[in-house]
Structure 1
Amino acid sequence: MPSSFLLRRHLSFSGISPTFHGTMEPFHRHLELRFRILVGVCNRIRQFSSSSSTSKLDFMDLTHPHTWYPNARRKSRKVIMHVGPTNSGKTHHALKRLESSSSGIYCGPLRLLAWEVAKRLNKANVPCDMITGQEREEIDGAKHKAMTVEMADVTSDYHCAVIDEIQAC
């Protein structure tokens, strides 16, 4: 396996004293095992990458971003970006659009923001689930979700998606 060879070459113990070498051997074995696991994971992930090339790990290639997420790129959608100064109503207008949509998702960087949005939508009689890494409040029949970014379900289709405070995500 070439990756194992590179690891051994990189972690060569030739210049280390025999006493120190003996104490480092368990660490070396542990690191090599972790590296082999990483290579295995990378090989499994390759099947989800955008290219059929097997000569490189495509998900690490940052030179062709237009080839990333081919399934998402096939979807027809309209993207609106709200940019403006603080307190200019960007989030308010985005949430109004989310509220009027048939289904939607709100993604924010903080649990408190997700909680506030879920509370606001539920108060407006729009059933909304609130999902974070710490909490999960699900409402029967809810087609809207408010969550922290890391909890977003990117496999589902939504009529409206709001990503708030994107610079913090």
Structure 2
Amino acid sequence: MDKNGFSLVNVIIGFIFFIIVLFIFLYFTINLYLKIKKLKKFKSKKFYLNKKLYLLFIILDLYLNIFISFLVIVSFSISVIFINNYGYITYIFTGIYLFYVVFALFNIILNFMYCESIYIVIYKDKLVTINNIINKSDIIKINNDVKRKYLYLNYYEDKQKTSINFKYNWRLKDFLNNFR
């Protein structure tokens, strides 16, 4: 244990937790991109791609993730090497590691909230999203909230009324209204 209360074991446990969070984050990210890739295989002429969301997810999930992971690995290496000489280095590692955990959780939540709005395909009178396939005849109505933050698609699934929430975009609303 160094003079500031951190031991090598604490730093290694923090790194192990980082690896666990990294694998969980990669699982959700790879799962999302595989679903988008499957949707692109439909080769339909009628599709909607929210380019801003798609680019945001590429930047956050790929580039920023690689950069922050690199920072965590470098700070872990420096902490292990200099734990007895400079006690504050372990605090830097802990701060970067905790920032990565918050970043990963934020991205996982963002992926769940907005994944339906990224890529939508119309194929043989069916609306295909990342998680749903909806017949044209099952759609009840398409509307948005007052502040135009979300777009709601109400439809019947197994004779029960169900709803999908999309991030609002006027192009998406026009796309869905033209389909209906």
TM-score by length of structure 2 reads 0.26
Greater radius of gyration (CA): 1
* TM-score normalised by length of structure 1: 0.28
Query: Which structure has more RCO (C-alpha within 8 Å, separation ≥ 6)?
Result: 2
Higher helix proportion (structure 1 or 2):
2
- Kindly indicate which of the two structures has a greater share of residues assigned to strand: 2
